[in-house]
Structure formats: structure tokens, C-alpha cells
Amino acid sequence: MKPHAKDLRKGRFSETGRIYLVTTVTLGRKPVFSDFHAARQLIHVLQAEHETGCAKTLAFVVMPDHLHWLLELGASVSLPRVVGRIKSVVAHRLGGGVWQQGFHDHALRKDEDLATTARYVVANPLRKGLVPNIGAYPHWDALWL
């Protein structure tokens, strides 16, 4: 039996200052962000969210059909609200119909190395064979790299 998105949210807890790795996917895995302008719109929204202090971006990579985002959650906001806001703003800017419902999140444990996780995130285009080296991919950033 396949779980419903609402079932995946049961027990989800947002903790201020906690580091999360979020993955969210485009509707039907359509490669929306193969378009340079669309990918840059998403990046601008992540930067704006960072500037508000709601979600400090530690690393991200915008793939053609999904986003990996390593963030530190700010005060007075829940993770679903932050992710919902970036998805909503991007969808509005791109004309709607961009994202699948829900998202996957992983709260990093104290023993997980942030720099290693960031390297894993930004190396996604390399692992997927999109580029010969990470420097050739334009849609990523990380505090440590």
C-alpha cells in the first residue's frame, strides 16, 4: 500500500536551528529547471528566504527536475511553511504547475558532518552525468565549497 502525502507529514516536527536536507520534485518529473531562467528564479527565491532569516541556506543544487536544499531552520517558522513558500513563489513566477505535492526532509543528526553532506548535495549533477566536473554546473552553491 502506497502512503499518502498527508501520512508522510504525521509526526513531522520543525525545530529552530536544526539542519535539514530537503528534496522536492517537479510535477511529473518534468525538467522545468533545464531552462536557465527557471533555475535562476528558484535560486533567487532561495536567496530571498535566506535573507529573511527564515531559512539559512547552507548548500543547494537545482537539478532539472528537483531541488536538494541543505538549510538551517530559522525562528518562528515551520519547515513545511518555508518549503511551501519557496514552492509557491517559484510556481507563481513560472506560471504555475511546477511542483509535486509534499517534499522529503532529513533532519541531520549531530554526528553527521555538514561539509560532507554539502559535498554530496552539490555533486548530484556529477553523479547523474550532467557535467564532467561540478564547476561546469551553474546551479549550485555551498558555504564550504
Q: What pLDDT, in 10s, does the model give residues 105-143?
A: 999 998 889 999 999 999 999 999 999 999 999 999 999
Amino acid of residue 81 = R
Cβ proximity of 102 and 5 under 8 Å:
yes
pLDDT digits (tens, 9 = 90+) for 56-74: 999 999 999 999 999 999 9
Distance CA 141, CA 59 (A): 5
Cα separation, 86 vs 90, in Å, equals 6
pTM of the model: 0.90
Q: What is the CA radius of gyration of the chain?
A: 15
* Per-residue pLDDT at 13: 75
| Class level of CATH domain 27-142 | alpha beta
Cell of 133: 566536473
For residues 102 and 23, what is the distance between their CA atoms, to the nearest angstrom? Answer: 9
Q: Residue 6: is its pLDDT beyond 60?
A: no
